[in-house]
Structure 1
Amino acid sequence: MISKIVTKLTFIMLFFCTFQMLGQEKKFSGDPDSSFKTARELAFNKQRKQAQDTLLFILTKYPDYHDIREFLGTTYSWDEDYKKAGKEFAYILGKDSKRKSTWIAAIKNELWANMPFIALKMSNDALEIFPNDPEILTLKASAYEKSENPLEAMSTIQLVLNQNPDNQEAKDYKINLNKTLSQNTVGINSSVDIYSDTFNPMQYYSFKYGRQTKYGSIIAKVNLNRRFDENGAQYEVDLYPKITKGLYAYVNFGLANSFLFPDMRYGAELYKSLPKSFEVSLGFRTLKYATSTTNIYTGSVGWYNGNNYWSFRPYLTPGDTGTSKSGNLIFRRYRSDANNYLELSAGMGYSPENNQNNISGNLAPIVDLKSQKFNAGYYFSSHNKQNNWGTQFGITHQEKSFDQGSYFWIYTIGLTWELKFK
């Protein structure tokens, strides 16, 4: 009996040992250059799976044969397996950051994967190693174009032509970019606030015309409000002048002749790009009413993390009863470009910059109102990128200015539309 048990146990152990040995992959032992050549021929003859198996087998013995790993990553890109491709390119650049061909392959991989913000960051990283390289600058221009920043794309490709006026690829790219570059925009924003009690729905409309120039963008707006059974209009101009590389400004000026708006508003803010995909800003807004003037100090910290964007903006509003503080946190998840994204935001505190429904007609007493809000929006563009749409929904829990300590709910629904044209 015991001998039978021993025999069975021996058989089981031999079975598992044999299975394990068969499952272990042997290391490559042939000529890597010859096998690499064969793998390339297989890949170009639409036998990529066999080619990839061969390349992976070579890498079991020569893991740092970067030409082989780079070609493996490229075949993954061809198969639209962009994550696997990115891992192979990242491995190579971690070993040798001065391989220009790998940088180019890695940036192309992100562009093909519709990850323009990652491609843009990688282009900037590569240009620190290869300053003013025309191939990398052309890829950077493509990243700007895919992220809906055609003016930066044009400026970047012009850098290539300034240094290499006979660069045919850059010349062709500029011609195509000129065909698709839309410098003018018209748009309509509409939204409604629905109150849980006390007030009738409040309606907001904005009509705008914008133009991109080499100095920055200009936007003219007409804002129409229907609130407290009254109608009012405000006229605004927004400027976004470029100062130097990585530094631009926001300038605003507006006029109105209705108690629904400040008689005059103006403001300015400076934005500065920082390393690691950060951006900071600092500025102010001023709202002038017939009997009072309110100054609001603000700024922001923004961070691009791949196709994600985070931003925090505080507001400080000095008043007779102290300084009111509020803040807003925004998250965006970009899809194919800067006009296609999901946005979520949450905020606390009351700021006259964001809460312009001046209920009492005297702004000073209500800057310390308590408020909490949450907003969600989805923005998308048409196939030809000329039309952009957006939908928004928000909910706010706000203290009543005439009965502090009591609150009402405000439900906001909004729609936006833009048309781009030459």
Structure 2
Amino acid sequence: MRFFYYLVVLLCITSMSFAQEVNPDTVMAQAKQETEKGNFDKALSLIEPLRAKFPENEDIQVYAGRIYSWKKDYPSAIKIIAPLADKTKPNPDALLAIINIYFWSEQYEKCIWYCDKYLAIDSKSVDVIKIKASCLEKLNRDQEALDIIEKASLADNSTQPFRGIRTLIGRKAKNAVSASYLNISTSNPGQSPLHYGYIEYSHKFSKSAIVGRANVGHVNNDTEMLFETDFYQTFSNKSYLYANAGISTGEAVFPVGKAGLEYYFTPYKKFDFSFGARFMHFESDDITLLTGQIAYNTGSYTLAYRPYYDTGNALFSHVLSLQKSNEEKERIIRLELQYGTVPYLYLYNGFTQPLKAYRAGIQYQHRLGDSFFVRPIFLYEYEEYIPGEYRNKFNVQLIVTKRF
């Protein structure tokens, strides 16, 4: 009898011991659930006992390191994962983890070193090549980045994964040249079309940019030139100042002289604000416009409102626009509505009257290759050309730009 008693007790103790045995797969599943919820501390409280109990299990070690990296505790993450990544035969998952850690912590030289170590194992890993190219771009080693992108694109027969990096590098170009042609036609009643064009050159400095522009206009058998300069100055608080000045060869097509100034305030959350003025001098009259802008940015969309106040005629004009941007492709589509007297591109002449106009338009920018842009623009106006009489007005413009 005593033998059977001891046997039962032993079976009970053994079963209790098995019941208390940790199941790594179950705990890991629980830790992953907590991680997906963003409960990193809870996930670590589950996985740390597993690390201590199964130090030889590299999957547990790597996942623990990843949790620390997602928590942005990069030193702890590196301490756990580096020994696995630095072995003679490194753990591939550990290499991928430490590559992300050094990239997120902006330690780009270290990140490149581990990228090379991983590419020695898998030379066709697009994700790792992309991270390495991004590091090179951050370090302004742009040609190296373009070289490995070109090599990877030829091997993979696709440039899609690297478009964003190419865009970032392309935007660093200091120079650009643009040419434009604008045709303004009317109907019911019609008149001879107006022709405008310009050629401009722009150069970027570290915190400023300057643009030189030569305009030509042909209106009612008169041809004139307007020479103007734009200047942009950025400040450390992310605000910037825009200034414009120009002088023409006559007064029938363009104003004799013009100037503008606008300050763009530091963005506040998703909002942008600005305030400024435009001034145009004619032989017989002067025009002063007060203007500004409020814009709301959400994702790839920007909704903006810009008023103009003509101080001489005490008249308001209003412009509402909606723009969608694709930063990677540098593609823009913009819809615009306007009510008021301010003409497109401020193309006033000396005979301006306080008449009404309603305008709707669309413009589109498309990048060809890495540095060539085309921007077609179409705007329709229902314009009061004399008091109480309206006509149709069509503004058609094409702008081409090459940056280098």
Task: Decide whether aligned partners of structure 1 residues 182 and 63 sit closer, same or farther in structure 2, where only a CA change above 3 A counts.
Answer: closer
Q: Tell me how far apart the structure 2 counterparts of residues 198 and 299 of structure 1 sit (CA, whole Å).
A: 34
Q: What amino acid is the match of 1:390? A: R
Are 1:100 and 2:72 an aligned pair? yes
Cα distance, 1:31 vs. partner?
Answer: 7.0
1:224-235 equivalence runs, <5 A: 224-235=216-227
Q: Tell me how far apart the structure 2 counterparts of residues 374 and 353 of structure 1 sit (CA, whole Å).
A: 11
Q: Tell me how far apart the structure 2 counterparts of residues 344 and 138 of structure 1 sit (CA, whole Å).
A: 42
Matched residue of 1:273: which SS?
A: coil
Cα distance, 1:273 vs. partner?
Answer: 2.4
Cα distance, 1:176 vs. partner?
Answer: 2.8
Are 1:174 and 2:139 an aligned pair? yes
2:278 to 271, 285, 293: 285
Q: Tell me how far apart the structure 2 counterparts of residues 278 and 408 of structure 1 sit (CA, whole Å).
A: 37
Task: Decide whether aligned partners of structure 1 residues 221 and 65 sit closer, same or farther in structure 2, where only a CA change above 3 A counts.
Answer: closer
1:229-244 equivalence runs, <5 A: 229-244=221-236
Cα distance, 1:271 vs. partner?
Answer: 0.4
Cα distance, 1:202 vs. partner?
Answer: 1.0
> In the alignment, is the contact (CA less than 8 A) between 2:360 and 2:381 conserved in 1?
yes
What whole-Å deviation, never above 9, does each CA across 1:204-232 have from its counterpart, x for those lacking one? 11111000101311111011111112211
1:41-60 equivalence runs, <5 A: 59=33
Q: Tell me how far apart the structure 1 counterparts of residues 30 and 254 of structure 2 sit (CA, whole Å).
A: 67
Matched residue of 1:276: which SS?
A: coil
1:233-312 equivalence runs, <5 A: 233-258=225-250, 259-312=252-305
**1:371 paired residue number:** 357
Task: Decide whether aligned partners of structure 1 residues 56 and 201 sit closer, same or farther in structure 2, where only a CA change above 3 A counts.
Answer: farther
Cα distance, 1:371 vs. partner?
Answer: 0.4
Task: Decide whether aligned partners of structure 1 residues 305 and 201 sit closer, same or farther in structure 2, where only a CA change above 3 A counts.
Answer: same
Q: Tell me how far apart the structure 1 counterparts of residues 358 and 195 of structure 2 sit (CA, whole Å).
A: 21
What whole-Å deviation, never above 9, does each CA across 1:108-164 have from its counterpart, x for those lacking one? xxxxxxxxxxxxxxxxxxxxxxxxx9946689xxxxxxxxxxxxxxxxxxxxxxxxx
Aligned length: 280
Q: What amino acid is the match of 1:329? A: L
Matched residue of 1:182: which SS?
A: coil
1:19-58 equivalence runs, <5 A: 34=25
**2:368 paired residue number:** 382
Q: Return 274-283 or 203-212, whichever deviates more.
A: 274-283
Q: Tell me how far apart the structure 1 counterparts of residues 192 and 233 of structure 2 sit (CA, whole Å).
A: 40
Matched residue of 1:190: which SS?
A: strand
Q: Which runs of 5+ in 2 are unaligned?
A: 1-20, 44-69, 75-101, 109-132, 147-168
Q: Tell me how far apart the structure 1 counterparts of residues 23 and 321 of structure 2 sit (CA, whole Å).
A: 51
Cα distance, 1:327 vs. partner?
Answer: 1.1
Q: What amino acid is the match of 2:391? A: F
Larger radius of gyration: 2
> In the alignment, is the contact (CA less than 8 A) between 2:239 and 2:267 conserved in 1?
no
Give the root-mean-square deviation of aligned CA atoms.
Answer: 3.4
Matched residue of 2:393: which SS?
A: strand
Cα distance, 1:237 vs. partner?
Answer: 0.2
Are 1:405 and 2:392 an aligned pair? no
Cα distance, 1:355 vs. partner?
Answer: 4.5
Q: Which runs of 5+ in 1 are unaligned?
A: 1-29, 38-54, 71-97, 103-132, 140-167
Q: Percent identity at matched positions? A: 18
Q: Tell me how far apart the structure 2 counterparts of residues 369 and 213 of structure 1 sit (CA, whole Å).
A: 42
Q: Return 178-187 or 213-222, whichever deviates more.
A: 178-187
TM-score (normalizing by structure 1)? 0.59
> In the alignment, is the contact (CA less than 8 A) between 1:199 and 1:228 conserved in 2?
no
1:64-75 equivalence runs, <5 A: 64=37, 66=39
Cα distance, 1:303 vs. partner?
Answer: 1.8
Cα distance, 1:244 vs. partner?
Answer: 2.9
Cα distance, 1:65 vs. partner?
Answer: 6.5
Q: Tell me how far apart the structure 2 counterparts of residues 308 and 189 of structure 1 sit (CA, whole Å).
A: 26
**1:392 paired residue number:** 377
> In the alignment, is the contact (CA less than 8 A) between 1:195 and 1:409 conserved in 2?
yes
**1:335 paired residue number:** 326
Cα distance, 1:389 vs. partner?
Answer: 1.0
**2:154 paired residue number:** none
> In the alignment, is the contact (CA less than 8 A) between 2:231 and 2:244 conserved in 1?
yes
Matched residue of 2:284: which SS?
A: coil
Q: What amino acid is the match of 1:386? A: S
